[in-house]
Amino acid sequence: MVDRQFAEPMLAELYDAFARETGDFEFYLPLLMSASSVLDVGCGTGELLRLAREAGHGGRLCGLDPAPAMLEQARRKRTDVEWILGDISSVEWRADFELVVMTSHAFQVLVDDDELRDSLAAIRSALSTDGRFVFETRNPLARAWERWIPEHAVETIHHGEPVRMAHQVEAPVSGELVSFTTTFTSPKWDRPESSRSTLRFLGVDELSSFLSAAGLVIEAQFGDWDGQPLTGGSPEIITVARRA
């Protein structure tokens, strides 16, 4: 459930290289270290769970992702973490985890109402009585998609060669859904690699309604990774929720 533009095997290898330092893992890692059992929904290449294990986490760590190529990368990093192929509504856990997280804006991949409701219900079921669900979604008021243009393309070096990643949003943007194309190019490739993705930008009130309907209560919210209060101009809606 990491952004689907990286789901193909060759592109999954590039994910960590393109992942920017945003401060999110610095926020999440202490939470993981204080929980004896952790489920990372949409774990991608498993980088957060790798960091937790290498920092000395001795409990249960489980990563769930629907992309086989992502989990292949994760398994190469650690063999002492549970890696499960699937999405949250395809598995059944009952109070198994003290902490469930969704990082890297994986929450925004849940674009359909029914998919969102089913996922939140499954997450609540997976939480222990005092468990917490922590995740982030981009604040729609900050309109991040307006900066997803080819002029803001980024590059990395992969196997000694430059690879460029560029986004192009499909206009006009209307409502909560933003669709865009991601194109990867490299001088050594025969052709570009492209994929199309759609993300949902839920506002604070809509997000609260979905959580409440799923039996989850918001315990805290932040507007950025340094713990700043959530405001209209905040780039993120970082939410800590618990079972009602």
Q: Tell me: the pLDDT tens digits for 188-209?
A: 899 999 889 999 999 999 999 9
How does residue 5 score in pLDDT terms, banded at 50, 70 and 90?
Answer: low
Side-by-side strand order, sheet with 97-102: 82-85, 60-65, 37-41, 97-102, 127-138, 236-243, 216-222
> Alpha-carbon distance 66 to 53, whole Å?
22
Which residues are CB-contacts of 130 (< 8 A; sequence separation ≥ 6)?
A: 98, 242, 243
- 23: alpha, beta or left? (left if phi > 0; alpha if psi -120 to 50): left
CATH class of segment(s) 4-139+202-243: alpha beta
pLDDT tens for each residue of 226-241: 999 999 999 999 999 9
Residue 64 phi/psi, 5-degree rounding, is -125, 130
- 87: alpha, beta or left? (left if phi > 0; alpha if psi -120 to 50): beta
Query: For residue 10, is pLDDT > 80?
Result: no
**pTM reported for the whole predicted model:** 0.94
Q: Which two tokens stand for residue 187?
A: 């001088």
Residues 79-91 as b/e (b if ≥16 CB within 10 A, e otherwise) read eebebeeebbbeb
Which residues are CB-contacts of 11 (< 8 A; sequence separation ≥ 6)?
A: 5, 69, 184, 193, 195
How does residue 101 score in pLDDT terms, banded at 50, 70 and 90?
Answer: very high
